[in-house]
Chains A and B, each alone.
Chain A
Amino acid sequence: EAGVTQFPSHSVIEKGQTVTLRCDPISGHDNLYWYRRVMGKEIKFLLHFVKESKQDESGMPNNRFLAERTGGTYSTLKVQPAELEDSGVYFCASSHRTGLATDTQYFGPGTRLTVL
């Protein structure tokens, strides 16, 4: 069974540009999560989808970040315009069943974003 995949693995952009990250969850997983790790900090929650619906956006840092999950399959996270502090590693995770945190979340390899 394929795991969570993320694209691209690395992205280097200039401040003010736009970047779109993609996540493909494990097939059949209704729950999809985005997390971020900035340099020297812990992994932090960004948001949670159940199918195509946003259930919790409490971790999104500001309105420059837009996440979508059209059709309840893959998800995209767009940063527009990117700022220096957006640099970090963005992880996607997915889980099966009810979406309660006690369900095991399986993580993708991450996208390393560098904003210059």
Chain B
Amino acid sequence: EDQVTQSPEALRLQEGESSSLNCSYTVSGLRGLFWYRQDPGKGPEFLFTLYSAGEEKEKERLKATLTKKESFLHITAPKPEDSATYLCAVPPTGSARQLTFGSGTQLTVLP
């Protein structure tokens, strides 16, 4: 059965304290791994898509990496405005028209 597991569930960082979020997945024939950011009361906001192992993408203080079994979202020198829930999602095996989401990591960056 396809699974997307994110860890940790919650993470509290001091401003400037770098860390990484993990997303592990079990799907056959990965056709993309998506990272989204979600603020309270809002919908998921697209951040990155990664397609193949070894691929990396960066946006401001965020860098996403992908291996054959997991993806990491690295946050360098975070600021309070980076506080949000970060979601990863993959298309499930045998389907190209939906996304299976993880439960998310709730990140809090303290000033």
On chain B, the number of residues with a Cβ less than 8 Å from chain A's Cβ atoms is 26
On chain A, the number of residues with a Cβ less than 8 Å from chain B's Cβ atoms is 27
Bound CA–CA A42/B95 (angstroms): 18
Among residues of A, the one whose C-beta sits closest to the C-beta of B44 is A107
Bound CA–CA A58/B46 (angstroms): 24
Among residues of A, the one whose C-beta sits closest to the C-beta of B51 is A102
Contact of A100 among B4, B31, B34, B103 (CB under 8 A): B31
One digit per residue, 1 when the CB lies within 8 angstroms of any chain B CB and 0 when it does not, for chain A 41-56 equals 1111100100000011
Would you give the shortest CB distance from A4 to chain B, in whole angstroms?
Answer: 7
CB pair A107–B45 under 8 Å, yes or no, is: yes
**Residues in B neighbouring A42, C-beta threshold 8 A:** 4, 100-104
Write the residues of chain B forming the contact surface with A, with a CB cutoff of 8 angstroms.
Answer: 4, 31-32, 34, 36, 41-46, 49, 51, 87, 89, 91, 95-104
Write the residues of chain A forming the contact surface with B, with a CB cutoff of 8 angstroms.
Answer: 4, 31, 33, 35, 41-45, 48, 55-56, 58-59, 91, 93, 99-102, 104-110
